[in-house]
Structure formats: structure tokens, C-alpha cells
Amino acid sequence: MKLLFDDNGNVVVRNGRPVYVHDDGKEIEFDAAGTAATIARLNKEAQTHREGKEAAEGTARTLGEQLKSFEGIDPEGVRKSLGRLKDIDDGRLIDSGKLDEVRGTVAKDYEGRLSAAAQTYQQKEDGHLSTLAAMKAENEKLIGTLHNEVIGGSFARSGFIKDKLTLPVDIAQATFGKHFKMEDGQVVATDGTGNRIYSRARPGEFADFDEALGTLVENYPNRDHIMRASGASGSGASASVGSNGGASKGMTRAQFDQLAPMEQSKAARTMTITD
């Protein structure tokens, strides 16, 4: 890969970005500032997620430590029961019939207090476990929402979709979204075999969103039906060149939205969708 120079020997710059040429002749615009900004933003999002997770784990540990305070028997109840037994041992109740009655009362009182303590402990433990489960579910929900927002935002902001494809953003996401996921706060892309897609503009590094999407489109069986015709870009392009060399038919977005799901899938492969 090398820089692209014009006839005067100057580096070719497009959209404020230097242009590189691969050995196969493909030209790549290298957006250094955009790449750095994206990495910084995703790192910040990852930090926010990590701090939320640590806070949740800290709360869980605190709740677990509080549960220990309910273990064992009510000390006050035990002291009262022992005091009543001491009175019996001291000979204050001599009558054997009365002694058996008192012993039965003390035992019943002790068992009642023990049962109440165990029930209170169980109720509090159940409450803490329920709270912990709710916090875990909410945390997983937030993580899922974050992932969907980040990946969906990447499709919505994609210059590749706008300039190179005839597909609307939502159809492009429905077709290729399964290849993108979040790892360590960053959007990563995998090919059809599950391997990470590497950058051709930055050898040794993983491809950014648009470059990865471009690689996926290159390997898409119906690529010719979704790529804009050579020289056409943006929302003003009205036709794409199919594999047979002719311009494919087109329809408006309103017409596309009225089709059944199966017909939408067919139209997305064979027609140009315009706004």
C-alpha cells in the first residue's frame, strides 16, 4: 500500500484525507482524526459501563455482608430463657408438676423465637436476592440497549451506505448487522466464518465500521444489485448496475414500505430504493 500522487507529484487528498492505493488498485481514504475520535468515544462508553458494573457488584457485596447479621438465634430471647431455667435450677419451683409445665413453656418459647428468627432471616435474604436479580437484569438490559444504539448509530452515520449502496440504512442494517457486535466497548466486525475483519488502510489493525462494511459488501453474493452505478453517489443516484451490465429498476421508499417482507427482500436485491 502506498500514497496516491497526482500528476504534479502531490499527495492526493479527498475530503481532507490522504488517499492510499493498495496493490490491487483499490483507493482508501485514511481518516486519522475520525479514527482517533471514535476510539476515544468508545473507550469512554466502555469506562461508563465498567463503572456501572463495579457499583452494582459493590452493592451486592454490601447486601451479602448485611445478611450475616441475621445469622443465629435472638440473643435477648436466649438470655430470657436461660434466666427462667436458672430459677428452676435454684429450686424456686419445687413442685414437679409445675416444673414440667415451666420446662414445656420455656421450650415452646425458645422454639418460637428460633422459628421467628429463621423466618425473618429468610425473608430478608429472599428480598436481597430478589433485589440483586433485578439489578442484574437491569444491567444486562442497559448493556443490550447500549450495544444496539452504538451499532445502529454506526449504520445511521455510515458514509459508505450513503455514497456506495442503494439500500436504505434500515435494510442495510438488517442485511449486514449480524456481522457487528460490541467487545470491550468497541464495535467489531466478523466475516461469514466468524473471523475478525482486518483493515487494509491500517495493516495489523482491525477495520473500522465503514471499511469492514465495504469488505462484507464485496463478498456479498448480490453485491451488484445493491451497489450504486459507477460515478453515482448520495441520495440523488437513481439506478445501480446489475451483474448483467444494465441499470436495475427502481422504486421510491414509500412504495418499498408498502411491500410485504418477502417482497421487500426481493426488491432490495433487484431494485434501487430512492427517497
Residue-wise pLDDT for 89-120, tens only, equals 655 655 556 667 777 788 888 888 888 888 88
Task: Provide the pLDDT confidence category of residue 244 given band limits of 50, 70 and 90.
Answer: very low
197, pLDDT greater than 90: yes
Predicted local confidence at residue 149, as pLDDT: 79
Predicted local confidence at residue 249, as pLDDT: 64
Q: Is 268 exposed, middle or buried (0-12, 13-18, 19+ CB in 10 A)?
A: buried
Residue-wise pLDDT for 112-161, tens only, equals 888 888 888 888 888 878 888 888 877 677 676 777 778 989 999 999 99
Half-sphere exposure of 215 (CA within 13 A, CB side): 21
- Which range is least confidently modeled, 6-15, 56-65, 175-184? 56-65
210 near 159, Cβ under 8 Å?
yes
Predicted local confidence at residue 50, as pLDDT: 86
From the list 143, 144, 147, the residue with the least C-alpha distance to 186 is: 147
* Residue 259: its H or E element: none
Predicted local confidence at residue 232, as pLDDT: 44
Task: Provide the pLDDT confidence category of residue 247 given band limits of 50, 70 and 90.
Answer: very low
Q: How many angstroms separate the CA atoms of 249 and 239, rounded? A: 7
Segment 243-272 mean pLDDT: 68
Can you give the residue ranges of every domain in the chain? 1-29, 42-153, 158-274
Predicted local confidence at residue 161, as pLDDT: 93
Predicted local confidence at residue 88, as pLDDT: 61
Task: Provide the pLDDT confidence category of residue 43 given band limits of 50, 70 and 90.
Answer: confident
CA distances (Å), 8 to each of 12, 29, 120, 233, in order?
A: 10, 20, 86, 28
CA gyration radius, the chain: 35
Q: How many angstroms separate the CA atoms of 44 and 32, rounded? A: 19
- Which range is least confidently modeled, 70-79, 109-118, 176-185? 70-79
DSSP string of 157-185?
H-HHHHHHBSS-HHHHHHHHGGGEEEETT
As a whole number, the mean pLDDT across the chain is 79
**DSSP state letter for 11:** B
Show the cell assigned to 209.
465500521
Q: What angle do CA 23, 161, 20 make, to 5 degrees?
A: 25
Dmax over CA atoms of the chain, in Å, equals 122
Predicted local confidence at residue 142, as pLDDT: 67
- Count other Cβ atoms within 10 Å, centred on residue 175: 19
From the list 227, 165, 201, the residue with the least C-alpha distance to 28 is: 201
- Which range is least confidently modeled, 19-33, 178-192, 197-211, 252-266? 252-266
Segment 157-175 mean pLDDT: 93
Residue 231 φ/ψ, nearest 5 degrees? 90, -10
Predicted local confidence at residue 73, as pLDDT: 62
Predicted local confidence at residue 175, as pLDDT: 93
201 near 62, Cβ under 8 Å?
no
274 near 248, Cβ under 8 Å?
no
